[in-house]
Structure 1
Amino acid sequence: MPGNPVWIRQEARLLGAVQIMTGLFVHTLGLLWTYLLVSQILAFQKVYLPFAILSGFPFWAAAFFLLSGIFTVLFERRRSRSLMTCSIVLNILSACSAVIGLLLLCLEFLAYALAKKSIWPHRAGKILSNYLFLFTLLELCVTSTLINWLYKAKHSR
């Protein structure tokens, strides 16, 4: 993006930082989910089984979110074709993992919307799932924007 204004470079660097923070939040939510899952089995003998957590989504998606953010920031600091390609590929993988996560969370919302009883572990689980949904949606929006910008930059050279 040599001909692009400085503000686009700064925004891309900022969006990379948002991806890194989103990855950290998603990973932390995964750790909270794991703690809740273990503690609710011990305390309540009732379980809210989160589809997203059982698939390990917060952990592998957080890795993609972090890596795509790191490579986006690196690309904005040191311009090279290889960093651009890595950034595009990782952002595409990040977008795919976000879509998979959103689908898993939608299935979870549908499954537990049909539940007749709403006990404390279910309510706490739904709150964590809502936060995970919002951060995953944020990641999808940021990643889509970055893919668009990087793709345009790659083909404008």
Structure 2
Amino acid sequence: MLRFDPFHDIDTVARQLLGENVGSSRAPRFMPMDLFRAGDHYVLNADLPGVDPGSVDVSVDNGTLTLRAQRSVPSEEGVQWIASERFAGTYMRQLSLGDNVDTDKISATYNNGVLSVTIPIAERAKPRRIEISGHAQPKTIEAGSGS
């Protein structure tokens, strides 16, 4: 007899997210990040501790910002692991950029395990004052007039 368990799928997803019983326990889970606006640009800070700076790649293609990084596993022969909780492998995160950013001027730095990406706001998307032009002589409209 089959038993219906409505929480089975939720438990499976939770185990996958928390890393229980899913392939190698050393596979990267995610790349935690913060994103905020500071004046005329956005700043994205992503945590990548222990990642070789040469493996970090930031690219923009068709409005999608892609962050990639590789963290290698130490390949030491004859070692018996007691605990292995640090993730290794490829990290990747993609963000959809709107039309209001200047993709040609995106810049990135990597310091102390933090990838910082500066995404400038395009000139066309910045707030600007719109000048109102008028007639040489003001036109007066009276209430109740038929024309």
Q: Given the two structures, how large is their TM-score scaled by the length of structure 1?
A: 0.28
- Structure holding more strand per residue: 2
- Structure holding more helix per residue: 1
Larger Rg: 2
Q: Given the two structures, how large is their TM-score scaled by the length of structure 2?
A: 0.29
